[in-house]
Chains A and B, each alone.
Chain A
Amino acid sequence: MIGVSILKEGWDISPVQLDVLREVANIGAGNAANALATMLKSKIQISVPRVKVMSFADVPDFMGGAEAHAVAIYFHVGGPVKASILLVMPIEKAAQLVEMLLGTSNASLTGSFSDFEYSALMELGNILSSSYLNALSSFTKMSFKPSPPALAIDMVGSILNTILCQYGEVSEMALVMEAGFKKDKVDVVGNIFLLPEPDTMDNIFTSLGVIV
């Protein structure tokens, strides 16, 4: 699971803060992996979360390359903490997931999804992002209010583009929190990204007792 945060210009992040965020990503992704394991009735591992500050232009490469073909499920998080959550899966993994969830599907043969399969993917996104946020919520004692899911299937770069646009006025740098889900140790299912908005970062640190 990956989180991305947009930083104010000149915003500096300390090694302690990075550690805190890595822990936040770890707890959130751990909880989401549990939910995924229950749904798929199989073991899910998470990778060691990566937390990095980078320019917008570098984010697509961090997420698998600008032209990689992927399914992305997007949530805007409102309330006292504002953020974006993006769940990114390679297209063939998304097709396999749909087959596992529904028992039957032609998605991996045809590479396209029916409306019913779209709903299944969005529901999967709902459950993963809610479990991620639930963990953050009990950890930080703050409330998170995710929007309904939006879904896009296309090049990773073009999807990110659309999300990062809204932050273009505020910044050129993003804080990206990422964790990957693996099934049977090697098979990467997808990644989850969280992009907190600038003021939100301070709120998170304050609630955790980290001096900002």
Chain B
Amino acid sequence: MGELIQVGMGDYKLAMPPDKLITAGLGSCIGICLLDPKSKMACMSHIMLPCSPNDKKYGNPGKYADTAIIAALNDMKKMGADTDHLVAKIAGGAQMFRFSGNSSIFKIGERNAIAVEENLEKNKIRLLNKDIGGNVGRTIIFDPANGDLSIRTIKEGQKVI
């Protein structure tokens, strides 16, 4: 049996079978799962915001859609993955609060989702499947062995994409 590798908020981790990657409680954040189908090397990032601020001092690259994807690509390449043929699955980007008026923080899920898709395209990564939006929190587990992304929610049960 492999291990379950925890990916925290604003972080990213690599894994190989039989290990799996998990991030618990995605709200407006997005879990990006990248896989090199040949070597089976996978990376999961848990991004919080659409894009990094312009000044250089932005801290951990895993927090932002744009920098997280590039950081993941570089790390996977270093570890010997073929980063020209990566595939991706993404989940998250929910709007958690109701009766929330016009506050812009509650639309961050939508903006995150758009930014992630744009940045995947920019880096020529093929998006295989997604489970985005709605108002449900998600716990996601990615299995590099077969590329299955299982998504657990309280309101809508469990599914695999």
Chain A residues engaging chain B, CB cutoff 8 angstroms:
9, 55-57, 60, 66-67, 69, 74, 76, 118, 122, 147-152, 154-166, 168-169, 172
**A157 and B97 alpha carbons, distance in the complex (Å):** 13
| Secondary structure class of chain A's binding surface, majority of residues | mixed
**A74 and B25 alpha carbons, distance in the complex (Å):** 17
**A69 and B139 alpha carbons, distance in the complex (Å):** 12
Chain A residues in 8 Å Cβ range of B28: 161-162, 165
**A76 and B105 alpha carbons, distance in the complex (Å):** 10
A162 x B103 contact (CB < 8 A) = no
A-B contact pairs, 24 of them (CB 8 A): A57-B8, A67-B24, A67-B25, A67-B139, A122-B99, A147-B103, A149-B99, A150-B106, A152-B97, A154-B137, A155-B154, A157-B26, A158-B27, A158-B94, A158-B136, A158-B138, A159-B96, A161-B26, A161-B96, A164-B9, A168-B48, A168-B49, A172-B60, A172-B63
Chain B residues engaging chain A, CB cutoff 8 angstroms:
8-11, 24-29, 48-49, 53, 58-60, 63-64, 94-101, 103, 105-106, 108-109, 135-139, 154-155
* Distance to closest chain B CB from A138 (angstroms): 28
**A181 and B88 alpha carbons, distance in the complex (Å):** 44
Chain A residues in 8 Å Cβ range of B97: 74, 150-152, 162
* Distance to closest chain B CB from A63 (angstroms): 10
> Contacts A150-B98, A155-B137, A172-B59; is A160 near B10 (CB within 8 Å)?
no
Minimum CB distance partner of A161 in chain B: B27
B26 x A158 contact (CB < 8 A) = yes
Chain A residues in 8 Å Cβ range of B135: 152, 154
